[in-house]
Amino acid sequence: MQYTYLTEDIRQKIDKYLNTFPVKEQVIIQALHLIYSKYRDIELPHMEELSNYIQVPLNQIEGIVHFYDMFRVKRNARHHIRVCKNLPCHIMGCKKLLELFEKLTNEKANEESKHGRFYIETVECIGACSVAPAFMIDDDLYDGTKITEEKLNEILSKYT
């Protein structure tokens, strides 16, 4: 099949997720993040291609898109940080992680970006509970289990 929206790069990343995540729902969430990052929206043709590519019913993908508001957030900065605040990540210290992000970026979570470089958003689940507290910067997923201020600063410096 010819894909219009799932570029080769996106398909390669999805293949990696298929080999990494044991649960298809996690693959769907990560794939939707990729699509959202590229097109800043998720529409029916995107979902149809994804459904075809990973062989899951379209209504399962639509259900996830409707459940997760994060796919509708409009960015006002060059980079979009998502910090999961759902229970497993909460238990593993997402509050501290969020405070670090706010300190290092000089931005407030869920508020319009002041400097235009980072927009920080708290989200419900990014499908990476095994590396809680999990976070994403654009479409890069990070393991927050051993994060320190120094390490986070180093990560942030990659996003200019």
Q: Which residues pair with 135 in a beta bridge?
A: 83, 142
Among 126, 137, 141, 156, interactor with ligand FES by CB under 6 A: 126
Whichever of 50 and 97 has its CB closer to ligand FES, that residue is: 97
Residue with tokens 């298929």: 18
Total of residues contacting ligand FES (CB under 6 A): 10
Is there binding between residue 10 and ligand FES (CB under 6 A)? no
Q: Are 76 and 58 in contact (CB under 8 A)?
A: no
Give the Cα-Cα-Cα angle 112, 136, 75 (nearest 5 degrees): 30
Is there binding between residue 29 and ligand FES (CB under 6 A)? no
Is there binding between residue 28 and ligand FES (CB under 6 A)? no
Is there binding between residue 125 and ligand FES (CB under 6 A)? yes
Question: Closest separation between CB of residue 37 and ligand FES, Å?
Answer: 17
Question: Closest separation between CB of residue 129 and ligand FES, Å?
Answer: 3
Convert 43-78 into a string of H (helix), E (strand) and C (coil): CHHHHHHHHHHHCCCHHHHHHHHHHCHHHHCCCCCC
Is there binding between residue 128 and ligand FES (CB under 6 A)? yes
- Alpha carbon distance 156, 2 (integer Å): 36
Among 62, 88, 117, 121, interactor with ligand FES by CB under 6 A: 88
Q: Are 132 and 80 in contact (CB under 8 A)?
A: no
User: Which residue ranges make up the site for ligand FES (CB under 6 A)?
Assistant: 84, 86, 88-89, 125-126, 128-129, 132, 134
